[in-house]
Amino acid sequence: MARALFELWPRIARAVPLAALGDFPTPVESLAPVIAELGLSGPEVYVKRDDLSSDLYGGNKVRPLELLFGWARERGRGVVYATGAYGSNHALATLLHAPRVGLRAGALLFPQPVTPSALATLEIMLSQDAELHTVSHWSALPLGMAVIRARSALAGEPALIMPPGGATPRAVLAYVSAGLELALQVERGVLPAPSRVFAAAGSNATCAGLLAGFTVAARLGLGFRSGAPRVCAVRIGPWPVTSRTRIVSLSLRTLALLARLAGEPRLLLGSSELATHLEVSGDFLGRGYGHQTDSANEACRVFAAAGLPLLDETYSGKAGAALIAELRSGARGPLLFWSTKSSRPLPEPDREARRSAPPALERWLERARASRDAR
């Protein structure tokens, strides 16, 4: 149940309430089976198994939810709302984990392309005891969030309404901690220091936190003796949402919060120092957010055939495709893939408990099921 951030700066643990949800540190394993499946004799490649961050539902949303839920409980917010696409992993993680710590949950969702993973996720969300609201497009989220906030206040039950992915500096501290956690694993000989770390970039919380955590670890001489690994942020969302500028900005704001909480001005890094350790790729985005690509589908097949079914066809699969392309180009290692999609078996949807869905969701479900049945 260790949290690297709190181990290194115990005073932060006293200042940042946490609702324990996950099991940390998550393990690191070799990706040699993937190399073999590709028929390559490539470099050392590893995977950080954040897909195993919780026995209930893992993935990269568990870490930030611990801090967001902790804040909600401290401030007397008994209801938490996630925001995201119809198949949002952040929304599903919120709905599954919030009741564990005495919180009620809801979600505000916008449309996305039909995919098998999105359908499976939404069907589980509909069987949870949670309110689901919709907007017609992601650009309408701010208005939808304002409406829910106003309704909650009028009902005398103020809610925490999280932005997509919970991408706030407080939440991103959790992935600073994750970056430090990896540095500690390098320090302890679990793996060699990677030169590059591949992760999907959607809400930017994961990549911004890792960028900050790796750079801080290198400055402290922890694990990364030859400098911080480069974060290879693979865009799964549109520009400028997943732009280099936004990732660095979120990382800087998170480090400002960290420096204040830890009482250590040396943690205030500059944008140029951070940017040196970041590369952003849009080469695997395809037609846009939520759309499948041939390379992502291939990555899903390769990982599954290697005994590592860690990817989905539109999010982590695109990061997996970037890693595979790098391996095929003859890249030198060590490399690391950050696994962000829960690999735990999904709960069975409770058909009897299924709540009535907003009309837009019902129409989307009809199309998704028809597409599934046609296969």
Mean pLDDT of 350-358: 72
pLDDT confidence tier of residue 262, bands split at 50, 70 and 90: very high
* 4-60+167-338 and 62-165, same CATH topology: yes
CA 265, 267, 273, 279 dihedral sign is: negative
Does pLDDT of 297 surpass 60?
Answer: yes
Q: pLDDT at position 353, please?
A: 63
Q: What is the DSSP string of 269-283?
A: --HHHHHTTEEEE-T
Can you give the pTM of this predicted structure?
0.95
Per-domain residue ranges of the chain = 4-60+167-338, 62-165
CA distances from 353 to 16, 34, 102, 125, 363 (A): 36, 40, 20, 11, 19
Provide CATH code, domain 4-60+167-338.
3.40.50.1100
- Interhelix angle 294-305/316-328, rounded to 10 degrees, is 80
Does pLDDT of 1 surpass 90?
Answer: no
- Residue for token pair 């690999």: 343
CATH architecture of 62-165: 3-Layer(aba) Sandwich (3.40)
Span 99-140, pLDDT tens digits: 999 999 999 999 999 999 999 999 999 999 899 999 999 999
Preceding amide of 25 cis, omega within 30: yes
